[in-house]
Structure 1
Amino acid sequence: MYIVSLTYTASLERIDDALPAHRDYLDAQFAAGNFVAAGPKVPRDGGVILASNMERARLDAILAADPFAEQGLAAYVVTEFRATRLAPNLNLPLPEAP
């Protein structure tokens, strides 16, 4: 599983212009089962995506297709982690034990 932290590298005006395309991109990734959660940071200087368990190269390719990435509007930091505990009733994919 991955935490993806986006930091905007452009004005909020440019971010807002690209936001409809970014939201369409997010919708497609949720529908494909690639993303589990997403939303803006507070204060609004970027966003966070929680991505499901996949190969890192696949995630990198998915993130490269984000309109924010394609237009150079955000920098991405990816942190991989192995979820070993979940809150009750939270249905997230757990990695296989090593």
Structure 2
Amino acid sequence: MISTYLAPLDQVDKAREGHLAFVDDLERAGVLVSAGRQDPPVGGVIILDAETEAEARELMAPDPYLLQGLAEYAATNWKPTRGALADWKR
């Protein structure tokens, strides 16, 4: 999931603590592969272990950034075949 911020960064940052807690929940659930903010900070990337776009969107639905209208997510299906994540398994 690739996010784009829809609000100024200072507004996004006010919700960042809740967003990071949400990302922690994804990690505890075993569905988070990796996540981080883009540089420059215009959005972020969250790599999920999800079978379908619908599942990924369901997982992302409770994100405070979405709930507060601060960001939108574009889903990109990706299957790593090379590099550090090529053999990653849930």
| Superposed displacement of residue 53, structure 1 | 3.4
Aligned to 2:26: 29
Aligned to 1:38: 35
Give the 3 Å change call, closer, same or farther, for CA 46–69 of structure 1 in structure 2: same
- Answer yes or no: is the 8 Å Cα contact 1:34–1:51 preserved in 2: yes
Q: Percent identity between the aligned chains? A: 34
In proportion to residue count, which structure has more strand?
1
Query: Which consecutive residues of structure 2, in runs of 5 or more, have no partner in the other structure?
Result: none
Q: How many aligned positions are there?
A: 90
1:8 is aligned to 2:5: yes
CA distance, structure 2, for counterparts of residue 72 and residue 85 of structure 1: 35
Aligned to 1:63: 60
Per-residue Cα deviation, 1:15-69 (whole angstroms, up to 9, x for no partner): 1110010010000000101111101100011111111133322211111110000
| Superposed displacement of residue 92, structure 1 | 1.4
- Three-state SS of the structure 2 residue aligned to 1:82 is coil
Query: Which consecutive residues of structure 1, in runs of 5 or more, have no partner in the other structure?
Result: none
CA distance, structure 2, for counterparts of residue 56 and residue 93 of structure 1: 18
TM-score when normalising by structure 1: 0.81
Structure whose CA Rg is larger: 1
- Three-state SS of the structure 2 residue aligned to 1:80 is coil
Aligned to 1:83: 80
| Superposed displacement of residue 93, structure 1 | 2.2
